[in-house]
Amino acid sequence: HDPVVVAGAGQAGLQVAISLREDGYEGPITLVGDETGLPYQRPPLSKAYMLGDMQAESLELRAAPFFADHRVELLSGVRVTAIDRLARRVALSDGGSLEYGHLVLAVGVRNRVLACPGADLDGVFTLRTLGDAHALRERIGTIRRAVVIGAGFIGLEFAAVAAKLGIAVTVLETAPRVMMRAISAPMSAFFADKHAESGVTIRFGDSLARIVGDGRVEAVETNSGVRIEADLVLAGIGVIPNTELAAAAGLPVENGVLTDALLRTADEHVSAIGDCAAYPNPFLEGRYVRLESVQNAVDQAKCVAARLTGKPHPYAAVPWFWSDQGPLKLQIAGLALPDDESVLRGDPASGAFSVFRFRDGRLTAVESVNKPGDHMSARRILAAPPTVTPADAADESFNLRAIAK
Ligand code: FAD
């Protein structure tokens, strides 16, 4: 597979290099990343770093000597601009090009941006990169009122930090509950209550009409006609996978660069991993899924490195995720569908409990808050081969093949 070229030097891209060396690969590795500086972790950007509890250097995933010590060439501030699959060569934004034996696409996602009037005013932010976080952190030290668009993970993590810093925060959410795509109704209700208790106002079923101000944000107007005074607007309205590079090279893309169970694209010399990749997920009967989590980025990188060093196996790691919102640590193991059943374990009033999710009587996911023991057990339970219950056996419509992996 010599040489290995990795497009994208984030969580997944760097891990490919780390794991290739751990697995004994001796050939050249080049990491091409369009951000400047060393690869860093994003989760603290909306948590400890935003709060001011962490310095930028502590975000680095590996210190500078790692790259020389492990013969990993890092081209930072450089974009891969095109892939020539026939010649097995990528073109770079600095005018150069690189030949590859194997190419790994680990180019991540970019934030959706607001399209309403006033979206270009000073004081409107999104949060993905260290640059975004730095700018936002500087600004929140100077403001009193913030509006967050979207009650997803990043929006709510930011809301919790801002509220803790004494900022009046309003969250606008079109859906009827928080983190609706990712968690159960009872867990949503718990988090909505806790955010309200810490002073965050959440407006459900309302959306942003326009942002007003003279050069700088002064207020937000919603589609229900409400005006909310604000010095800052943070848009947490989802992401767009960076699929253009793959699509331009003729590789199939949908909601992500499509791969097989071994994380190979339609071209066996090109893999795709992390936030940008959609793969057939064994936890959802082989449905294509694109996950946005550190676990997925790291484990997919390890899976590709194992294949490139002669130990191929399908990607089947149990998905898990966490989100810290103020004093609450949410942890999710597994993957549930929206209408999976929810069973409460423990008392939400105690502030530490779990919600177990089931589909057709089988455990699909466990959502825990301040219950790390439940989360760790759930990861082990979900990793074990699924069993057939008596009810499953008697039910001819029960999909045996889906669990007979
Ligand atoms: P990234 O880490 O985003 O790396 C992709 C890199 O590729 C980027 O640097 C990008 O600029 C670069 N790139 C794009 N196109 C090109 C190109 N053509 N050429 C070269 N380089 C290119 N996950 C959790 O599990 N828990 C959390 O609590 C959590 N919190 C988060 C908080 C924030 C604020 C954010 C933004 C994300 C959070 N995540 C969290 C998600 C997690 O950070 C991502 O899932 C993870 O970083 C994905 O890794 P990746 O390598 O696929 O993408």
pLDDT per residue over 262-295, tens digit each?
999 999 999 999 999 999 999 998 899 999 999 9
CA distance 133 to 21: 31
- For ligand 1, pick from 31, 100, 273, 275 the residue to mutate: most ligand atoms within 8 Å of CB: 275
Domains, the chain, ordered by start: 4-110+240-308 (3.50.50.60), 113-237 (3.50.50.60), 336-403 (3.30.390.30)
Return the residue matching tokens 């934004």: 93
pLDDT per residue over 301-323, tens digit each?
999 999 999 999 999 999 999 99
Q: Whose CA is closest to atom 18 on ligand 1?
A: 80
pTM over 0.90? The answer is yes
* Gap from CA of 67 to ligand 1 centroid (Å): 20
Extended beta strands in 64-144, E state: 72-76, 80-84, 89-92, 97-99, 102-105, 109-111, 124-125
User: Would you tell me how many other CB atoms lie within 10 Å of the CB of residue 145?
Assistant: 18
List of residues 6+ apart from 51 with CB closer than 8 A: 161, 164, 165
* Gap from CA of 120 to ligand 1 centroid (Å): 24
Binned at pLDDT 50, 70 and 90, residue 399 comes out as confident
- C-alpha distance from residue 265 to each of 72, 261, 288, 299, 307 (Å): 24, 10, 13, 17, 14
Q: Is 325 helix (H, G, I), strand (E, B) or coil?
A: strand
Q: Does a cis peptide bond (omega within 30 degrees of 0) precede residue 186?
A: no
Q: Which DSSP symbol is given to 177? A: S
Ligand 1: atom nearest CA of 127 is 34
* Gap from CA of 335 to ligand 1 centroid (Å): 20
* Gap from CA of 8 to ligand 1 centroid (Å): 9
* Gap from CA of 149 to ligand 1 centroid (Å): 20
pLDDT per residue over 107-164, tens digit each?
999 999 999 999 999 999 999 999 999 999 999 999 999 999 999 999 999 999 999 9
| 156 Cβ inside 6 Å of ligand 1 | no
User: Would you tell me how many other CB atoms lie within 10 Å of the CB of residue 112?
Assistant: 14
Q: Which residues pair with 289 in a beta bridge?
A: 279
User: Would you tell me how many other CB atoms lie within 10 Å of the CB of residue 99?
Assistant: 15
Check if the interface score ipTM surpasses 0.85: yes
Q: Whose CA is closest to atom 27 on ligand 1?
A: 43
Q: Is 171 helix (H, G, I), strand (E, B) or coil?
A: strand
- For ligand 1, pick from 6, 11, 80 the residue to mutate: most ligand atoms within 8 Å of CB: 11
Ligand 1: atom nearest CA of 42 is 43
Segment 384-405 shows an average pLDDT of: 75
Q: Is 79 helix (H, G, I), strand (E, B) or coil?
A: coil
| 40 Cβ inside 6 Å of ligand 1 | no
| 34 Cβ inside 6 Å of ligand 1 | yes
CA distance 289 to 325: 25
Q: Which is nearest to 169 in space by CA: 152, 148, 154?
A: 148
